[in-house]
Amino acid sequence: AQTVTQSQPEMSVQEAETVTLSCTYDTSESDYYLFWYKQPPSRQMILVIRQEAYKQQNATENRFSVNFQKAAKSFSLKISDSQLGDAAMYFCAYRAVTGANNLFFGTGTRLTVIP
Amino acid sequence: NAGVTQTPKFQVLKTGQSMTLQCAQDMNHEYMSWYRQDPGMGLRLIHYSVGAGITDQGEVPNGYNVSRSTTEDFPLRLLSAAPSQTSVYFCASSYSPSGVQETQYFGPGTRLLVL
């Protein structure tokens, strides 16, 4: 069974600085997708970034980038130039390539941005 | 498009009562799913559907029923509510049940309190 672990319940970062959120996962599949979702106080789930396991290149989306280490089963999210609007819960999620579009989530990291 | 809508936004139930959480999408999405979010637990899949007339269980299906009579609607039924079902419930959908680039769209959530 696949599991997703986020070992940092809370993180904080100074505005304009960089922060890295950690995520590890366990799976027996060779191909899969990994995601980072943001959940602000409104509770809306917002997709931040996606990584396909067969791609060696790390995904980037503006100030958000990932460090994907397939052998180590690690998938960290780096937020550069942190902004007040980045404050939220961040969830790492896994999805197998085969089968239905079901997501398996980690327990989340609450990010605080300090002005 | 309204996207994924959920009603009600908030509900209080007494133990043993029944109710239906509504989820609808107007994007002609084949795949729909229900997750519950509990503090410290992340989101966990309850049930999902890969098309009208087809449903299946996720990680935590006990105490919940679903049906999918139309493409647009995917209601979640609690037949006899228990305090352990106090949670925030999210509905999500995607165009295809699988596929490389499928993004799930989440509804705004329903907060349920069972006394």
Of B50, B104, B109, the CB nearest to A103: B104
Which tokens in the block code for residue B112?
A: 């349920």
Q: What angle do CA B101, A19, A3 make, to 5 degrees?
A: 50
* B109–chain A Cβ distance below 8 A for any pair: yes
Question: Which tens digit of pLDDT belongs to each residue from A19-42?
Answer: 999 999 999 988 899 999 999 999
**CA max distance for chain B:** 43
Which segment of B25-29, B68-72, B89-93 scores lowest on mean pLDDT?
B25-29
CA-nearest of A83, A74, A86 to A111 is A86
Partners of residue B109 in chain A, C-beta under 8 Å: 43-44
Query: Considering only alpha carbons, which residue of chain B is nearest residue A41?
Result: B108
Residue range B17-21: average pLDDT? 97
Backbone angles phi and psi of B81, in degrees to 5: -65, 145
CA-nearest of B50, B36, B30 to B91 is B36
ω into residue A115 within 30 of 0, thus cis?
Answer: no
Question: What type of residue is A100?
Answer: A
The secondary structure of residue B73, as a DSSP letter, is B
- pLDDT of A46 reads 93
Of A9, A52, A100, the CB nearest to B48: A100
**Facing residues of B20 across strands?**
B77
* Strands annotated E in B2-107: 4-7, 10-13, 19-25, 31-38, 42-51, 54-57, 64-66, 76-78, 87-94, 105-106
- Residue B99 reports pLDDT greater than 70: no
- Residue A101 — very low, low, confident or very high, per pLDDT cuts 50/70/90? confident
- pLDDT of B95 reads 84
- pLDDT of B101 reads 62
- Our measurement of the distance from residue B31's CA atom to the centroid of its chain's CA atoms, rounded to an integer in Å, reads 12
Which segment of B10-14, B65-69, B83-87, B91-95 scores lowest on mean pLDDT?
B91-95
Distance between CA atoms of residues A26 and A72, nearest Å = 10
Residue range A84-91: average pLDDT? 97
CB B87 within 8 A of CB B37: yes
CB contact under 8 A, B42 and A45: no
* A104–chain B Cβ distance below 8 A for any pair: yes
- Residue B100 — very low, low, confident or very high, per pLDDT cuts 50/70/90? low
Which tokens in the block code for residue B46?
A: 């309850």
Q: How far is B82 from chain A (nearest CA, A)?
A: 23
